[in-house]
Amino acid sequence: MEEPDISKLRSARWFGSHDLTGFVHRTAIQAEGFSGFAVKDRPVVGIANSWSELVNCNIHFRLLADAVKRGVLMAGGLPLEFPTISLGESLMKPSAMQFRNLMAMDVEESIRAYPLDAIVLLGGCDKTVPAQLMGAASADIPTIMLTGGPQEPAYFRGKQLGVGTDTWKYADELRAGRMTQADFDELEASAKPSAGHCSEMGTASTMTSIVEALGMCLPSSASIPAVAARRSQFAEATGRRAAEMAVSQGPKPSEVLTPEAFDNAITLLMAIGGSTNAVIHLLALARRVGYELDLDRFHQISEHTPRIVNVRPSGEHLVQQLFHAGGVASVLKELAPLLNSDALTVTGKSLEDGYIDAPEPDGNVISKLDKPYDDEGGIAVIRGSLAPKGAVIKRSAASPKLLTHTGPAVVFDGIYDLGERIDDPDLEITEDSVLVLRNCGPAGAPGMPEWGMLPIPEKLLKRGIRDIVRISDARMSGTAFGTTVLHVAPEAAVGGPLAIVRDGDPIVLDVENQRLDLDIPDDEIERRLEELKLPDPRYRRGYGRLFVDHVLQADEGCDFDFLQSLPDEEPQRLPYGLFSGWQGGW
């Protein structure tokens, strides 16, 4: 590695001066057991570690952090690891999404406040990855990401399972009386066999794949299994590259996260049949770098991007099979005619440089562009009188016959109402009905939980019905499936039309024509909206109050309004005068 110019390193503002300020900063490091040599004329690489015993997806990150440190040291840098909030879908209530923006703030301010020349982000579980990217994008210091990788596939009675997709199916079998509780308990014992995030193309695997398409990680690293030695080898390589980026002071997130990079990410999202949650995260991330990405851009790209990846819930296989078939790099290589192949990545080279030598499609897990699994991308955007600002549907995981449907609404006013009545034998519902769940959006729940895959009523399950049209202002797990319309905007809690739907109202869904309408007269819609009384916010204090007061709607990414990049924003600089950073500490 070339000798760093200490005067240009950001960390030199802390460690470079031979005065009382530099003295205090250097002794703070020496108190940890480092010598003065450790910070002399070398870059400092921060490792943002989201390890937590509350998040099984990220439980192996201590070992990955050690491998990153090894790489930084090999390249002549000083690695300094620091913790951040860790977000886990399985245990956080009401939703990890409620705390994505909080984690983004944690990451941003930690980066901004400390003497770091480059950053390695360690993330894996669903909201951890976008939160870290959002925070790093706002801080805009050279950053590279290392994702944690998918867990090993589960096996139940000889059948390979995905963590979520197959669990939902077995849960329906249990409710329908076709599976015993003892069998379900046996499934529980084998459902999550190792560290790592979900093994199908859920939100976690979708977001880690998108990181590679954005150019924010080393090529071919996204789909390596969590427990594979190769994951640690890439961690070491990531540390080496981070030290190089610290010296060159680039590329920065603002140089990588361009409109062209976002188009690449959306193209990959559609080709892999990825999670609808990625739409919200990409909308939010784009606004962090000043790019007003529009919801309709997703539909435009989806229309000319075929689905070429055969992974659950939009296919048969798991991410481990995708890895063995060539990983995200092979998918990008096949998508090359649809990509901005010269987009800059954290390697300092083009996106094409990272996938050019990847294997060709195997025809099983990855198809050729001219022989796709679906002619269009996995996600569609729809609008209409029920969703003036848009909604999304994962058509690749829906029932084709329901993508054009008209039926009467069966309305639930929240998750508790749903829980109390969904299996009521007297519930008036048929397979033609449209289930509607409201007050579960960004401000209404709050936090927009993954409640959008509404359960099929037990009375229908027992008749063998496994899918009906469902509509909500909530999200759903990326591992979920079914004909589910999500992210309806504006949400009911802020006065969106979803709030005025009544039982029996006809609802029209026409995905091909991007239509989602409440099929009643316009003057009746206006009258109901005028009479609508909004619910009181759930929180009156603390972070919950901050969230409901400032969260944006789904079509804008659900970020806080004050965290988006401002058109006239100047880079923030800290005061570095005498005694800066420690006054009041002695």
User: Where in the chain are the domains?
Assistant: 43-152+194-355, 379-531
- The pLDDT, as a whole number, for residue 5 is 63
- Give the pLDDT band (50/70/90) at residue 463: very high
Residue 337, preceding peptide bond in cis (omega within 30° of 0): no
Residue 285: half-sphere exposure toward Cβ, Cα within 13 Å: 32
Q: Contact 376/395 with Cβ under 8 angstroms?
A: yes
Whether pLDDT at 10 is above 50: yes
- The pLDDT, as a whole number, for residue 569 is 65
Provide, rounded to the nearest whole percent, the portion of the chain with pLDDT above 70.
Answer: 95
- The pLDDT, as a whole number, for residue 576 is 42
Whether pLDDT at 582 is above 70: no
- Give the pLDDT band (50/70/90) at residue 581: very low
Whether pLDDT at 45 is above 80: yes
Summarised one tens digit per residue, pLDDT across range 506-551 is 999 999 999 999 999 999 999 999 999 998 888 989 999 999 999 9
- Give the pLDDT band (50/70/90) at residue 175: confident
Q: What is the domain class of 379-531 according to CATH?
A: alpha beta
Q: Which two tokens stand for residue 19?
A: 């005065």
CB atoms near residue 258 (< 10 Å): 18
- The pLDDT, as a whole number, for residue 62 is 95
* More confident call, 155 vs 104: 104
- Give the pLDDT band (50/70/90) at residue 196: confident
CB atoms near residue 537 (< 10 Å): 15
> Is residue 83 classed as helix, strand or coil in its secondary structure?
strand
Whether pLDDT at 119 is above 50: yes
Burial bucket for residue 234 (CB in 10 Å: 0-12, 13-18, 19+): buried
Summarised one tens digit per residue, pLDDT across range 315-366 is 999 999 999 999 999 999 999 999 999 999 999 999 999 999 999 999 999 9
pLDDT, the chain, mean: 93
Summarised one tens digit per residue, pLDDT across range 102-117 is 999 999 999 999 999 9
Say how far apart CA 174 and CA 35 lie, in whole Å: 61
> Is residue 128 classed as helix, strand or coil in its secondary structure?
helix
Say how far apart CA 298 and CA 382 lie, in whole Å: 11
Burial bucket for residue 428 (CB in 10 Å: 0-12, 13-18, 19+): exposed
Say how far apart CA 552 and CA 87 lie, in whole Å: 20
Q: 152-156, 160-164, 526-530, 576-580: which has the highest mean pLDDT?
A: 526-530
- The pLDDT, as a whole number, for residue 191 is 85
Segment 495-510 mean pLDDT: 98
Q: Return the minimum-mean-pLDDT range out of 163-167, 404-408, 523-527.
A: 163-167
- The pLDDT, as a whole number, for residue 3 is 59
Residue 169: half-sphere exposure toward Cβ, Cα within 13 Å: 11
Segment 196-215 mean pLDDT: 94
Per the listing, tokens 């992974």 go with 311
